[in-house]
Structure 1
Amino acid sequence: MQAVVLAAGKGTRLRPLTEDKPKALVEVDGRPIVEDVFDNLLEIGVSELIVVVGHLKEQIIDRYGDAYEGVPITYAHQREQLGLAHAIRQVEPMVDDDFVLMLGDNVFRANLADVVNRQQEDRADAAFLVEQVPYQEANRYGVLDTNEYGEIVEVIEKPDDPPSNLVMTGFYTFTPAIFHACHLVQQSDRGEYELPDAIDLLIQSGRTIDAIRMEGWRVDVGYTEDRDRAEKQLQTKSNRTDEPIANAEQSAETGMDWS
């Protein structure tokens, strides 16, 4: 399976760490974030890395070249950072079939393989990890709105007033159906083409969507304090994923069944 890694961001909220480097090369516990992403993807057996680069792209290309630990790397250039759905459109000519998508600024120690396995078993058009976060942090993410049965009815990108605290993480699998949805997405009020809007189009059109509860942990490295928190997590026993987690995996077709 191919894996797409989104690593085009400037990381303005991470300054001064990003004054002279792209966000993906900010180090966490002595290693670039994107290298940790690569290692996670190799662990689940991806056969090719497609890396979307943009800001200071030469630094990433020069560092990793055409392979990482023997796995081929292909690069796609996102000339303007116009959102995740726009970034995905850049790799359409390079993707052959179903693929994994991982954000290049997330540190994971979680059940990533469960997402791949579920998507392949169900032939779902999208599958992704979800987690509950504090309500005051939910507006940083794509938030899931559910009905009284616990089914996903809408995905909203960074809402001012989140309808829940259940959010998408930075790990997904897709069929090529996502490309059509990304082309249909309109620019948001933030001036970006949002990935949650594309996933919402899949939901509204009746496509099969699997959402899997995250087991383990992840840190979205958006601010310097997030980088510090990720380092602390990596340096403690909490990076183990074989310990019991309170909320077990759940999923459903075009929604989630929390019962």
Structure 2
Amino acid sequence: MKAVVLAAGKGTRLRPLTDDKPKGMVEVADKPLLTHCFEQLAEMDADEFVVVVGYRKEDIISHYGDEFRGVPITYTHQREQKGLAHALLTVEEHVDDDFMLMLGDNVFRANLGDVVSRQREERADAAFLVEEVPYEEASRYGVCDTNKYGEITNVIEKPEEPPTNLVMTGFYTFTPAIFHACHLVQPSNRGEYEISEAIDLLIESGRTIDAIRMDGWRIDVGYPEDRDEAERRLTGAAEVEAESASGDEEKPVEAADGE
């Protein structure tokens, strides 16, 4: 399954970290954000990365080249940042089957594989990793409504008054049907082509979209303090893993019966 990564943004809210680099190249725990994305996607056997670049695209292309750890990379160019649906259309000619979509400014330590597994079951036309957040934070994201079967019935992009606190996390799987929906999207009040509207068009056409609850954590790195929090969590997780490995090495081997 191919993996599409959206990395065209300027990251204006991340300044001064993005004064001299694109958002995807901001480092967290000594690695660019995009490297964290690629590592996660490679673990799920992505067979190609299709990366949407824009602002300072040369920085990304020169850093990664045409492959990452043996996985080929194709780049597409979003010349103007007009929303996620607009960005997604730049990859249409490169994707002809089910695919993963990750926003390149997220750091995950979560059950992404559950979303991919659900897509491969062929019972859903799309699957999204979702999480519950405090209501006061929900307006930063695409907010979801679900039915009793765990299917998404509506998505509202960054509402001023969120109807729920269940939000999309930035990891999705889709069939190519999403491209047709993106072509039908009209600019929002923000002047952007919102992926939430494309998703609603899929739902209205009878497509099934499953919500997979997040098990783990993720940080949407939108502000410098988000970068700091992601770094703190990654560093803490690494220390726990190191301590666990050290404990296993020091654990004495029990003698077999009779010895």
Superposed pair shares fold, TM > 0.5: yes
- CA-CA distance at 1:165 after TM superposition: 0.4
Q: Does 1:24 align with 2:24?
A: yes
State the alpha-carbon separation in 1 of the partners of residues 107 and 91 from structure 2. Answer: 23
Instruction: Tell me the equivalent position of 1:232.
Output: 232
Shift in CA distance, 238/123, structure 1 to aligned 2, threshold 3 Å: farther
Q: Does 1:64 align with 2:55?
A: no
Contact 2:152 2:210 in 1 (8 A): no
Shift in CA distance, 144/32, structure 1 to aligned 2, threshold 3 Å: same
Shift in CA distance, 189/239, structure 1 to aligned 2, threshold 3 Å: farther
Q: Does 1:169 align with 2:133?
A: no
Q: How high is the sequence identity, in percent, across the aligned residues? A: 71
State the alpha-carbon separation in 1 of the partners of residues 146 and 179 from structure 2. Answer: 25
State the alpha-carbon separation in 1 of the partners of residues 180 and 87 from structure 2. Answer: 13
Instruction: Tell me the equivalent position of 1:183.
Output: 183
Look up the equivalent residue of 1:213 and give its one-letter code.
R
State the alpha-carbon separation in 2 of the partners of residues 5 and 151 from structure 1. Answer: 24
Q: Report the secondary structure of 2:116's partner residue.
A: helix
- CA-CA distance at 1:153 after TM superposition: 2.7
How far does the alpha carbon of each residue in 1:13-61 deviate from its partner, in whole angstroms, 9 at most, with x for none?
0000001110000000111000000000000000000000000000000
Q: Report the secondary structure of 2:170's partner residue.
A: strand
How far does the alpha carbon of each residue in 1:96-151 deviate from its partner, in whole angstroms, 9 at most, with x for none?
21110001000000111110110110342211100000111100100013468875
State the alpha-carbon separation in 2 of the partners of residues 149 and 119 from structure 1. Answer: 16
Shift in CA distance, 94/134, structure 1 to aligned 2, threshold 3 Å: same
Q: Structure 1 segments of 4 or more deviating over 6 A?
A: none
- CA-CA distance at 1:81 after TM superposition: 0.5
Unaligned 5+ segments in structure 2 are: 241-259
State the alpha-carbon separation in 1 of the partners of residues 196 and 19 from structure 2. Answer: 29
Instruction: Tell me the equivalent position of 1:139.
Output: 139
Q: Report the secondary structure of 1:191's partner residue.
A: coil
State the alpha-carbon separation in 2 of the partners of residues 134 and 205 from structure 1. Answer: 31
State the alpha-carbon separation in 2 of the partners of residues 21 and 63 from structure 1. Answer: 12
State the alpha-carbon separation in 2 of the partners of residues 45 and 149 from structure 1. Answer: 29
- CA-CA distance at 1:201 after TM superposition: 1.1
Instruction: Tell me the equivalent position of 2:84.
Output: 84
Q: Report the secondary structure of 2:139's partner residue.
A: helix
State the alpha-carbon separation in 2 of the partners of residues 88 and 172 from structure 1. Answer: 12
Contact 1:216 1:239 in 2 (8 A): no
Instruction: Tell me the equivalent position of 1:247.
Output: none
Contact 1:53 1:76 in 2 (8 A): yes
Look up the equivalent residue of 1:8 and give its one-letter code.
A
Look up the equivalent residue of 2:111 and give its one-letter code.
N
Contact 2:151 2:208 in 1 (8 A): no
How far does the alpha carbon of each residue in 1:172-194 deviate from its partner, in whole angstroms, 9 at most, with x for none?
01000000011111111111111
- What is the number of equivalent residue pairs in this alignment? 241
Contact 2:7 2:103 in 1 (8 A): yes
Contact 1:83 1:194 in 2 (8 A): yes
Contact 1:217 1:239 in 2 (8 A): no
State the alpha-carbon separation in 2 of the partners of residues 148 and 122 from structure 1. Answer: 20
State the alpha-carbon separation in 2 of the partners of residues 23 and 33 from structure 1. Answer: 8
Look up the equivalent residue of 1:158 and give its one-letter code.
K
State the alpha-carbon separation in 1 of the partners of residues 125 and 114 from structure 2. Answer: 15
Instruction: Tell me the equivalent position of 2:40.
Output: 40
TM-score normalised by length of structure 2: 0.89
Instruction: Tell me the equivalent position of 2:206.
Output: 206
Contact 2:82 2:193 in 1 (8 A): yes
